[in-house]
């Protein structure tokens, strides 16, 4: 992905003026390739670095004037360090789009498998089979995966809670999402399950895995280390003799797999959250 801002540099500028202008468009950073295209030589770049006019951030990537960068400057520097076609992705892309809060850590960048550089300190590089143009965009003048692709990447690498937050924020911002990303109910199946997660959070219980498979079954909540499964039962989904029989047979099969199964009803979760939390705390302490 060639940087579209390069075309915005006015003509008849000196090389230094061109570099400064481009850096201003790129959150204070530029690459050595861009400086060479602007008319500087490699020796000139080295002299300016020694004089403190350029500050190396990555191999071949410099901050212009000073090394104090914004989040956007750090993200742009990481993208430039990974070569042509690189885009900000995963958690870092979600932060750029404003879908998740910014946190310290490695900056995540995606590149096509046949392009890009080797390892870069401070950068986690994701190599993809391809990066179709339909999955990439620009945000604040930084090449980045689209909101839909960003959330698809988060599904593979982030917590369920972070994916849900990102989806909700994207919907609030009215960003374009594909059908799969928009189905928040796939992550937390019902209002009852969301209430249960809220109980765990408020009472500082260990966070369970949500809607995961245990053997042939998909369970509502799992504390894998404690071998504990919790199912939250709404009356409509679990009423009737057939559902009653199927639930008990399923509980027995999970028991044979080595998991304890505990069931909480809608009334318990919504009207007696303190009792639910207390019982869970005892079960998790065993």
pLDDT digits (tens, 9 = 90+) for 230-249: 988 654 444 445 455 667 78
Statement to judge: residues 104 and 171 lie in one domain: yes
Q: What's residue 42's pLDDT?
A: 95
User: CB-based burial of residue 268 (10 Å sphere; 0-12 exposed, 13-18 middle, 19+ buried)?
Assistant: middle
Q: Which of 14-28, 123-137, 155-169, 213-227 has the lowest mean pLDDT?
A: 155-169
| Residue 74 covered by a domain | no
Q: What's residue 161's pLDDT?
A: 73
- Please count the structural domains in the chain: 3
Q: What range does the domain containing 30 cover? A: 4-64
Give the whole-angstrom CA distance, residue 66 versus residue 68.
Answer: 6
Contact status, residue 29 vs residue 55, Cβ threshold 8 Å: no
- Residues 108-133 have a mean pLDDT of 84
Statement to judge: residues 45 and 121 lie in one domain: no
Closest Cα partner for 91 from 156, 29, 136? 156
Q: What's residue 130's pLDDT?
A: 80
pLDDT in tens, 186-234: 544 567 788 899 999 999 999 899 888 888 888 889 999 999 999 886 5
pTM: 0.62
| Residue 72 covered by a domain | no
């Amino acid at each position: 992905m060639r940087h579209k801002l390069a075309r915005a540099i006015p003509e008849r500028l000196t090389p230094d003026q061109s570099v400064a202008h481009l850096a201003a468009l790129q959150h204070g950073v530029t690459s050595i390739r861009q400086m060479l295209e602007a008319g500087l030589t490699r020796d000139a770049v080295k002299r300016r670095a020694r004089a403190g006019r350029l500050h190396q951030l990555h191999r071949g990537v410099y901050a212009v004037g000073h090394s104090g960068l914004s989040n956007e400057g750090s993200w742009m520097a990481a993208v430039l360090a990974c070569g042509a076609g690189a885009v900000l992705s995963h958690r870092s892309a979600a932060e750029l789009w404003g879908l998740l809060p910014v946190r310290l850590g490695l900056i995540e960048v995606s590149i096509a498998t046949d392009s890009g550089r080797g390892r870069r300190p401070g950068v986690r590089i994701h190599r993809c089979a391809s990066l179709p143009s339909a999955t990439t965009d620009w945000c604040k003048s930084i090449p980045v995966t689209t909101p839909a692709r960003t959330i698809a990447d988060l599904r593979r690498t982030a917590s369920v809670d972070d994916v849900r937050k990102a989806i909700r924020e994207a919907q609030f911002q009215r960003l374009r999402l594909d059908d799969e990303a928009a189905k928040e109910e796939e992550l937390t199946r019902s209002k009852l399950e969301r209430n249960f997660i809220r109980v765990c959070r408020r009472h500082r219980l260990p966070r369970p895995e949500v809607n995961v498979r245990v053997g042939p079954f998909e369970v509502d909540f799992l504390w894998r280390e404690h071998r504990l499964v919790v199912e939250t039962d709404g009356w409509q989904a679990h009423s009737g003799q057939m559902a009653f029989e199927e639930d008990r047979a399923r509980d027995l099969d999970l028991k044979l797999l080595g998991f304890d199964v505990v069931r909480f009803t809608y009334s318990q979760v919504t009207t007696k959250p303190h009792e639910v939390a207390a019982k869970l705390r005892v079960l998790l302490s065993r």
